[in-house]
Structure 1
Amino acid sequence: MTNNEEQQFLAELDKKLWNAADKLRSTLDASQYKHTVLGLVFLKYVSDAFKIRQDELTEQFKNPDHDYYLDPEDFGGEDSEEYAEELKVELEQRDYYAEVNVFWVPAAARWQFLQDNNKTVIGGAELKLPDGSTKKFSSVGHLIDNALEQIEADNQKLKGVLNKLYTRLQIDQAKLGELIDLIATIPFNHASLNSKDILGHVYEYMLGQFALAEGKKGGQYYTPKSIVSLIVQMLEPFKGRVYDPAMGSGGFFVQSEHFINAHKGKIGDVSIYGQEYNHTTWQLAAMNMVIRGIDFNFGKEPANTYTNDQHPDLRADYVMANPPFNMKEWDTGVSENDPRWKYGTPPSGNANFAWLQHMLYHLAPNGAMGLLLSNGSMSSNTNNEGAIRKKLIEEDLIECMVALPGQLFTNTQIPACIWFLTKNKGARTAASGRQLRDRRGKVLFIDARNLGYMKDRVLRDFTTDDLNKVTNAFHNWQMGEEYEDVAGFVKSAKIEEIQKHDHVLTPGRYVGAADQEEDSELFAEKMARLTAQLKGQFEESDRLEAEIKQNLAGLGYDC
């Protein structure tokens, strides 16, 4: 949790970022300026991180007590050109950056080079590059694209990932130069905030704002942080393979990293696998991982999860996703006999149970998964959905159902729920160290519809206490410690009880209504009090009516 000073710093950063987007709003649509701004923010961040490491190295080279000390006397003295040149050469050695997981930035891609030359290249100009060669640039966009190409060439993980679109942008070059100068004022260094955390805030804020600006289309890649946090907290992905088949910009992976760090774990103990169909969103996710130093496998290319599974042999320990709700016509080119449809063929008109079964197919024997689906998935009997849900219940794969409040999403008002499934509800030790009891034949239902608060006029959010309340109920039930049903909120139900409800999984059916406080007032006394109160109200009404008539008569009206 950030303190007040950090929150103020981030709030001011938000304002600068959105001002940067405003520079382009009149000339580019939302989807274009999203990538234009985020691409430049990426360049600024990697340059800042590189410069911070350069400054550290400079101090180490000059510190006699450090292993990297360069003795000036070996190079003609502290003020000699030879010593200055040696320092310069050492600062360009890639190994110094790789050893502390700092992203390597070629000289012509560093922010200072862009800022120093963005005015010069308007209309075209030949520039001397840091390596001493010269190159003709046709525009500011060309200067930026060149920087991105250099970064890709020197960082294989980003091959084909960066959005080199700036030369093609139909935009005033001077305005693009102004944007560079504005982003130059965004600081990625702070006394107590980690630069990667600042960048994470930048990405989260910008993706959220762009989701609002783009409307429904924006939601294909943005899941509210509170929902991602809830799923990650409940699953606790400490160790093993983590998979998201509809990863968007990689929010589940980023939140998993935060969770692991907060609990003193090691991000190296987790392997990241993802898939995404939208090419630009796939690019955002890869950038998101690279700048955080998270190793990842997003397949060879952006691809359709159903027709071009990028991880066919993967069996993940944790699967988390927010797939598109109620997706239609998803099955073109997909066989009815696909091995993923173990529990029934999903209908063409709705992909909800296709996503769920795809995730189950990729789940390891002791794995756990959580996915967001629309509320209809809990009760629909249309086109085989009821039969699939019945089989999932009777195969004892469902562990927990969470009903969410409305207005959590920027781009849809469709009510949502979270499904948690596992292939092993037997007693065992989880990766987190929790001792799980035998939960076979039981399902936990949590009704969280009354939790949260309105953060603005249209959007609801969860507090930390809300997240902890749901998470604790789930974990306590898993371990069999300090758990008890709470009317109106949580209920542990046996499969036999679910069968009596025709295999409907809506939590409200099971948790019931919240207990009302017992009324200590005797019925006869309450009736007498309320009757007297009502009589008094009638008398007051009569008095006010008489007074109104008298006033109207004084004005000449016939009452």
Structure 2
Amino acid sequence: MVTTEFVQKTKELIDSLKGICASHGLGNDAGEFKIITQVFLYKFMNDKFAYEIKKLDSNIAQTDNWEKAVAELSPDDYEMLLLQLAEDTARLKPEHFISYLSTKQNAPDFAKLFDDTLRDIAITNNDIFSVKTEGGSKITLFDRISETITDESKRDVFCRAIINKLGMFSFERIFNEKYDFYSTIFEYLIKDYNSDSGGKYAEYYTPHAVAKIMAAILVPSDQRGKIQNVTCYDPSAGSGTLLMNLAHAIGEDRCTIYSQDISQKSSNLLRLNLILNNLVHSIQNVVQGDTLLTPYHKKGNALAKFDYIVSNPPFKTDFSDTRDDLDCKENNDRFFAGIPKVPPKEKNKMAIYQLFLQHIMYSLKPNGKAAVVVPTGFISAQQGIDKKIREALIKRKMLAGAVSMPSNIFATTGTNVSILFIDTNNKENVVLVDASNLGEEWKDGKNTKVVLKPSEEKQIIDAFNAKSVIEGFSTVVPYSDFEEKNYSFSASQYFDIPIEYVDITAEQFTAKVENYSRNLDILFEESKAIESEIKLMIGKISYD
């Protein structure tokens, strides 16, 4: 089966699971997200186990019924097989297999058996696949999903429908696929759940074009395959789109992911993304918690520093409850430019991105790089925290550049965005790109978004990485020029204004000057006449 057919089969599986949820009253319910993602993950891990076991044992690979062959192994042989599995493969027991549950679906209390199976897999693999909270608690892989059904008499039917769908095809033949395949699947899997439904901070999905541009500028093509053992961090990770693109550019086996996000939902999505993309070794570094108030990743008593940081932080939200806690002596260096005040009205418009940006600058290693999505207003604000941050980036000589993106590149927000690139090694010229006129409008449900063509993505990446000067599009600015422009990062303020020169003779020049002089004399005479009329009218009004 070719890749496109597997993508289609996978989408059909996801749609069928959603159909089961809808038929049991869970369509668009909060519990649907948990059911879809956890059942999908159970299926994925089951097939991955089969794939890896068959690679280790040729006899199992050649049999028509691998589940039966595994079940017939002696306890010692089975344990030896498990010991040989790579760390990114869940350890399963024969009673965990989809085929085993399928044979038990008519047993009394099948829903309980189904839930018990998922919970046992989670507990057995807790050390590898659990996400941590900032307090140290572990968020396990699976919950008791049948309990989402309020009517207990319907739970067995619900779980039977699920198990019968899971046995219809296997993922085994696609485990050699790379990032592009799994990113397509992931996008489809979460497409109905990728907006913030009550969480305080992160959005769950960044447009692929934005993520691709950020990764391609942070890791240019001539550096790919040469980077080794680096750390990648996102303090507001959402579903991990930016981290996945960055890891793919570096090489999944050449980097370690670190993240924190206040939303448990987004942390679960990130875990799923890591599993799909061969980054299981980083799951232990996924933390659910408030990055600004209680940053988790530390080295000793100090905050950890990272080689690469990517982030699409929330722009504005109400953090008035924790604002004063952040404004303390311990945070003076981290939040050097200040902490937004609580406005008397519209607290939900507190500019929290300013804090994330300062946190990112503080969290970079001496040779570190970062790419951050910011509201375009940030790049040219004339005063306040925004300007202080920009001034610091220039005076510390750690700005690589900025790219102003088209309007509506994010379909869910009307805010114009730019991408800020930080590079502590860039001590010379800065690249500014105005890509605001690129892209084509597309309808995305009720929203209109702008989509960049691949050639336009390449245009941005190439101009930035080559430090190209392209009229009306990109320019290169020395650090010394920024103060004169009030530290603006807007490319348009640094574009050269073209001046057209026309060759004329001395006689033509004299004729033009005389013509302008005559026109001025006429205008002066007309002005005097109008002035006299106004004085006359004022005199009459005063007399009356």
- Shorter-chain TM range is 0.7 to 0.9
Deviation at 1:306, TM superposition (A): 1.2
- Secondary structure of the equivalent of 1:285? helix
CA contact (8 A) 2:6 2:174 kept: no
Q: Name which of 270, 292, 297 aligns with 1:285.
A: 270
- Secondary structure of the equivalent of 1:446? strand
- The answer to whether 1:93 aligns with 2:80 is yes
- The answer to whether 1:331 aligns with 2:323 is yes
What residue is the counterpart of 1:419 in the other structure? 420
What residue is the counterpart of 1:32 in the other structure? 31
Range that drifts further, 189-198 or 346-355 = 189-198
Q: Name which of 95, 98, 119 aligns with 1:148.
A: 119
Deviation at 1:99, TM superposition (A): 4.2
What residue is the counterpart of 1:346 in the other structure? 339
* Per-residue CA distance 1:373-425 (angstroms, 9 max, x = gap): 11121123464332332233233222110111122224222111111112221
What residue is the counterpart of 2:537 in the other structure? none
Deviation at 1:356, TM superposition (A): 0.8
Deviation at 1:58, TM superposition (A): 4.1
Range that drifts further, 301-310 or 43-52 = 301-310
Q: Are residues 254 and 407 of structure 1, via their aligned partners in 2, closer, same or farther at CA, if it must alter by over 3 Å?
A: same
Q: Name which of 458, 465, 468 aligns with 2:458.
A: 468
Alignment: residue pair count: 457
Range that drifts further, 98-107 or 319-328 = 98-107
What residue is the counterpart of 1:305 in the other structure? 291
What residue is the counterpart of 2:482 in the other structure? 498
What residue is the counterpart of 2:364 in the other structure? 363
Q: Name which of 11, 14, 20 aligns with 2:11.
A: 14
* Per-residue CA distance 1:478-519 (angstroms, 9 max, x = gap): xxxxxx311121111223433232222223333479999xxx
CA contact (8 A) 2:195 2:204 kept: no
One-letter amino acid matched to 1:500 = E
CA contact (8 A) 2:215 2:246 kept: yes
* Cα distance in 2, alignment partners of residues 11 and 86 from structure 1: 35
* Per-residue CA distance 1:304-329 (angstroms, 9 max, x = gap): 00111111331111111111122332
Q: Are residues 456 and 296 of structure 1, via their aligned partners in 2, closer, same or farther at CA, if it must alter by over 3 Å?
A: same
* Cα distance in 2, alignment partners of residues 152 and 513 from structure 1: 66
* Cα distance in 2, alignment partners of residues 260 and 278 from structure 1: 27
- Secondary structure of the equivalent of 2:172? coil
* Per-residue CA distance 1:44-92 (angstroms, 9 max, x = gap): 00101111223334425799xxxxxxxxxxxxxxxxx999945786355
One-letter amino acid matched to 1:305 = T
Deviation at 1:205, TM superposition (A): 1.7
CA contact (8 A) 1:272 1:296 kept: yes
What residue is the counterpart of 2:218 in the other structure? 235
Deviation at 1:448, TM superposition (A): 1.6
Range that drifts further, 335-344 or 188-197 = 188-197
CA contact (8 A) 1:485 1:492 kept: yes
CA contact (8 A) 1:16 1:186 kept: no
* Per-residue CA distance 1:344-390 (angstroms, 9 max, x = gap): 11314212221111011110011110011111211234643323322
Q: Are residues 218 and 45 of structure 1, via their aligned partners in 2, closer, same or farther at CA, if it must alter by over 3 Å?
A: farther
* Cα distance in 1, alignment partners of residues 360 and 297 from structure 2: 11
* Per-residue CA distance 1:69-128 (angstroms, 9 max, x = gap): xxxxxxxxxxxx9999457863553446524853322333322233333x425xxx2xxx
CA contact (8 A) 1:341 1:357 kept: yes
Q: Name which of 1, 19, 23 aligns with 2:20.
A: 23
Deviation at 1:273, TM superposition (A): 1.2
Deviation at 1:163, TM superposition (A): 4.0
Q: Name which of 120, 130, 147 aligns with 1:168.
A: 147
Deviation at 1:298, TM superposition (A): 5.3
- Secondary structure of the equivalent of 2:210? helix
- Secondary structure of the equivalent of 1:459? strand
CA contact (8 A) 2:88 2:280 kept: no
CA contact (8 A) 1:276 1:304 kept: yes
Range that drifts further, 33-42 or 154-163 = 154-163
CA contact (8 A) 1:210 1:218 kept: no
CA contact (8 A) 1:373 1:417 kept: yes
One-letter amino acid matched to 1:331 = R
* Cα distance in 1, alignment partners of residues 69 and 5 from structure 2: 46
* Cα distance in 1, alignment partners of residues 70 and 318 from structure 2: 67
What residue is the counterpart of 2:304 in the other structure? 314
Q: Name which of 221, 225, 237 aligns with 1:247.
A: 237
> Where in structure 2 are there 5+ consecutive unaligned residues?
63-67, 131-138, 342-349, 501-544
Q: Are residues 375 and 392 of structure 1, via their aligned partners in 2, closer, same or farther at CA, if it must alter by over 3 Å?
A: same
Deviation at 1:195, TM superposition (A): 8.1
Q: Name which of 102, 123, 131 aligns with 1:115.
A: 102
What residue is the counterpart of 1:207 in the other structure? 190
- Secondary structure of the equivalent of 2:103? helix
Calculate the TM-score normalised by the size of structure 1.
0.72
One-letter amino acid matched to 2:52 = R
CA contact (8 A) 2:335 2:359 kept: no
What residue is the counterpart of 1:225 in the other structure? 208
- Secondary structure of the equivalent of 1:220? coil
Q: Are residues 214 and 274 of structure 1, via their aligned partners in 2, closer, same or farther at CA, if it must alter by over 3 Å?
A: closer
- Secondary structure of the equivalent of 2:288? coil
What residue is the counterpart of 2:52 in the other structure? 53
* Per-residue CA distance 1:209-264 (angstroms, 9 max, x = gap): 32269699996222122211211111118331111111112223322332234xxx
Range that drifts further, 150-159 or 486-495 = 150-159
Range that drifts further, 358-367 or 501-510 = 501-510
Q: Are residues 235 and 196 of structure 1, via their aligned partners in 2, closer, same or farther at CA, if it must alter by over 3 Å?
A: closer
CA contact (8 A) 1:188 1:199 kept: no
Range that drifts further, 387-396 or 85-94 = 85-94
CA contact (8 A) 1:211 1:217 kept: no
CA contact (8 A) 1:216 1:411 kept: no
